[in-house]
Structure 1
Amino acid sequence: LFALNQGQYGEPVLVAGTDGVGTKLMIAFALDQHDTIGEDCVAMCVNDILCQGAKPLFFLDYIATGKLVPEKIAKIVAGIASGCVKAGCALLGGETAEMPGLYKPDEYDLAGFAVGVVDRKQIITGEKIKEGDVLIGLPSSGVHSNGFSLVRRLFFQLHQYDVDHYFDELGSSLGEELIKPTRIYVPALSGLGDQFDINGLCHITGGGFYENIPRMLPSGLRAVVDPSAAPVPPIFKLMQELGAIDTAEMYATFNMGIGLMMVVAQDIADQIIQFLATKNEKAYIIGEIIAGERGVSICHP
C-alpha cells in the first residue's frame, strides 16, 4: 500500500514504467558480483518516468532464478534498495520465483517497475519544444544497461578477453568498467522543474541518440547534435577501435557518455547549467533544435 499526499498536487497524474537490465546480467554472472545490478534495474525504470516530469514514488521488483540462493538474492535486493534510496522512492515489495529447468542454477533474471507522480500542468510531453531551443546533456557513468549484446560479442567472442583483463585506457579491469551501475538522474533534476521550464527530456537507452531523441520531438523539428561538445568516455573509444565500428553505429547503439538529455529555451540554458553545478553535476550544451523532418542529425567528425 502507498498513500499519496494529494495536497502537494493540484491534479496528480500517475506515471509508470517497467524495464530490466538485459544481458548486462551476464557480466554480473561472470564477475559473481550481484550487489549493484539491482541499482541498474531501478535506474532504468525511474529515469524513464523522470522524462515525463514525474517524481518516483515506489518501486517493485521481480527476480526469477534457477536455484534460490538466499545470500545472492540478498545482494541483488540490497542493490535495488540502494537504487531506491538514490531515487527517493519506496521499495514497496517484489516477487522472487525459483524456476528450475527454465533458468540455470547459477543464473537469474531481473525486472521491475516504478510508479511516480506529476502535477498535470507540469507533465513534460515535448510539445513545447520549439526551433532555437538547445539540448543539454548530462553525463553517463559508462555503458549503463544497453548495448551489452554487442559489448559481449566484441570483448568476449571476437577478442576473447575475460572480465579480469586490465586496460590501461580504462584504468580498471574490463569487468569493473562494465558493471558500473546506471546513473539515477532523480537527484540531479530534483527542483529543476520548479525553477525552469523543461521543454523535453529523454533517457538515452537502447537505440542511442538516433532512436531516443526523436521520441520527445514534435513533428517538423529536428535535433542537431555536436558530439565534440561533451567528452566521450574511454570505454566507447576502446570499443570503437577494437571493433572498427562506424561512428554513426556507435551513436545508434550506445549513450556515448550522455545518459540524459533535456531541451530548454536558449536564454535559460546557462542558468540551468549553473543550477546543476550547485549539485556538483556537470552538464553540456550539445546541440540545438532546428526546423526540419523529425529526427536527429549528428555532426560526426
Structure 2
Amino acid sequence: MSGAKRYKAAGVDIDAGNAAAKRYAEIARRTARPEVLAGIGGFAGGFALDLRKYPEPVLVAGTDGVGTKLKIAFALGRHDTIGIDCVAMCVNDILVTGAEPLFFLDYLAVGRLDVETAAAVVRGVAQGCAEAGCALIGGETAEMPGMYAPGEYDVAGFAVGVVNRSDMVDGRDIRPGDVVLGLASSGVHANGYSLVRELVASSGLTWDDVPPGWDEPLGEVLLRPTRIYVRTVLGLRAAGVPVKGMAHITGGGLVDNVPRCLPPGVAAKISLRAWPLPPVFRWLVAESGMSLPEAARVWNLGIGYVLVVDPAAAAAAEARLRAAGETVYRVGEIVPAEPGAAPCVVIEGADG
C-alpha cells in the first residue's frame, strides 16, 4: 500500500486536502487587494503596506472563533454563513482602534475533510472579507481523525489591520456629556450560544419551528451572521466626524464591553428603552428567566457596536451612519463615575 493510501486509511486524505486548497485559492482571489504579494498556495501570505497612506503605521491584530454557534450550523447542514461570523468577530474587534482591516487568515480543523463543506465555510470567510474590504491571503485546513465528531469542525480567524498612530481611537478624550450611539446588530451574532442552545432544548422547539410573532424559523434567526461594521465606521471617520471611543459588543454584552473603551473617572449610562428589543432577545430573556440587566451581560440585546462622540458631533454621526445603511440609536451618555470606581455601565430602563 502506498504512503498516501496508508495515510488515507488512517483518516487523512491528501488528495481531498489538495482539492480543497485549490478551491480555497479560487475563492480567495475574489478578495484580492493591490497590496497582496503572495496569497493562498505558498507557505505564507505577503502584503506590502502602503506607507503613503499610513506614514506612521501601527499594526493591529485580532483573533477569534465562532464558538458553539457552530452546533446550529451542524444541525441545519448550513455552512455558508459561519465564515462571515469568523471574519466579523475579528475585524470588528480591531476596528475599535480605528484600524482598517488589511488581510485575514483562517484555520479550519476537521475530523475528516469534506471538500464541499470546507469550501462552503471558506466562501463565507471570503464574503466576510469582501464586506470588510480585507484580503484573504492564507489559512490552514487541519484533518485530525478522532478529534471531532463526524460532520463537525472548528474554525478560527486572524485579522491584521493598520492605523496611523495619531489617528488611533483609545477613549482617552471621553468626557461626561458625550453621547453613546449604538448600531443595530443582526441578531445574537456569535456569543452566548451555549446558553441559547440550552434554552432551545428546554423549550421543546425545533430549529424549524417559528415562535409566535416571528417571521422566520428559530434556526434561521439564530444562524444569521454577525454584522460587519467596518465600511460604515471607517467611512464616518474618513468624513471627518470625530469618534472618541468604540466598543464591539461580544461576550459580556453591553455591560462588560462598553467599559473597555472608557477612561478612568467616567461611566456610560445606557437606557434599555432607547431601542426596541428584537423578538429573538425577548424570547431568550423570557425563556431564561433573567432580568434585562442580567441579559445585557450575556447578549448584545440588539446593539452590536457602540461609538462615543462629542454632543456637537452626534447629529452628524447619526446622519452619516444612517445614510450608509446603519440603524442607529442614541443609547445613552457618559456620566461621572463614582469616586474610586472603575469605568462601568449604568443600566436604566430595566423593566424592559
TM-score above 0.5, yes or no: yes
SS in 2 for 1:191: helix
2: CA distance, partners of 1:16 / 1:106:
31
SS in 2 for 1:166: coil
2:60 aligned with 1:60:
no
* Residue identity matched to 2:316: Q
2: CA distance, partners of 1:238 / 1:124:
36
1: CA distance, partners of 2:116 / 2:325:
35
Report if the CA contact (8 A) 1:127-1:218 is conserved: yes
Aligned to 1:297: 346
Report if the CA contact (8 A) 1:136-1:262 is conserved: yes
Matches within 5 A, 1:173-184: 173-184=217-228
Shift of 1:219: 0.8
Report if the CA contact (8 A) 1:169-1:238 is conserved: no
- Higher relative contact order structure (alpha carbons within 8 Å, sequence separation ≥ 6): 1
2:256 aligned with 1:211:
yes
Shift of 1:62: 0.1
Shift of 1:170: 2.1
Q: Once the two structures are superposed, what CA deviation does each residue of 1:48-101 show, in whole Å capped at 9, x if it has no partner?
A: 000000000000000001110001000000000000000000001100001111
2: CA distance, partners of 1:262 / 1:82:
25
1: CA distance, partners of 2:193 / 2:187:
12
Shift of 1:160: 2.8
2: CA distance, partners of 1:61 / 1:141:
23
Matches within 5 A, 1:111-122: 111-122=156-167
2: CA distance, partners of 1:186 / 1:178:
22
1: CA distance, partners of 2:104 / 2:165:
21
* Residue identity matched to 1:128: D
Length, aligned pairs only: 300
Matches within 5 A, 1:92-103: 92-103=137-148
How high is the TM-score relative to the length of structure 2?
Answer: 0.84
Report if the CA contact (8 A) 1:170-1:177 is conserved: no
Bigger drift between 277-286 and 258-267 goes to 277-286
1: CA distance, partners of 2:309 / 2:248:
15
Identical-residue share of aligned pairs (%): 51
2:249 aligned with 1:200:
no
2: CA distance, partners of 1:168 / 1:221:
41
4+ runs deviating over 6 angstroms: none
* 2:230 aligns with one of 164, 186, 202: 186
Aligned to 1:28: 73
* Residue identity matched to 2:264: S
1: CA distance, partners of 2:112 / 2:55:
48
Report if the CA contact (8 A) 2:98-2:234 is conserved: no
Which consecutive residues of structure 2, in runs of 5 or more, have no partner in the other structure? 1-45
Bigger drift between 253-262 and 232-241 goes to 232-241
Q: Once the two structures are superposed, what CA deviation does each residue of 1:99-150 show, in whole Å capped at 9, x if it has no partner?
A: 1111112100000110000010011111111111010000000000000011
Matches within 5 A, 1:129-208: 129-156=174-201, 158-194=202-238, 195-208=240-253
Shift of 1:10: 2.6
Report if the CA contact (8 A) 1:223-1:297 is conserved: yes
Shift of 1:9: 1.7
Aligned to 1:279: 324
Aligned to 2:125: 80
Report if the CA contact (8 A) 1:28-1:179 is conserved: yes
Report if the CA contact (8 A) 2:111-2:153 is conserved: yes
Q: Once the two structures are superposed, what CA deviation does each residue of 1:220-245 show, in whole Å capped at 9, x if it has no partner?
A: 10100011111211000011112222
How high is the TM-score relative to the length of structure 1?
Answer: 0.98
Which consecutive residues of structure 1, in runs of 5 or more, have no partner in the other structure? none
The two structures, once aligned, show a CA RMSD in angstroms of 0.9
Shift of 1:164: 0.9
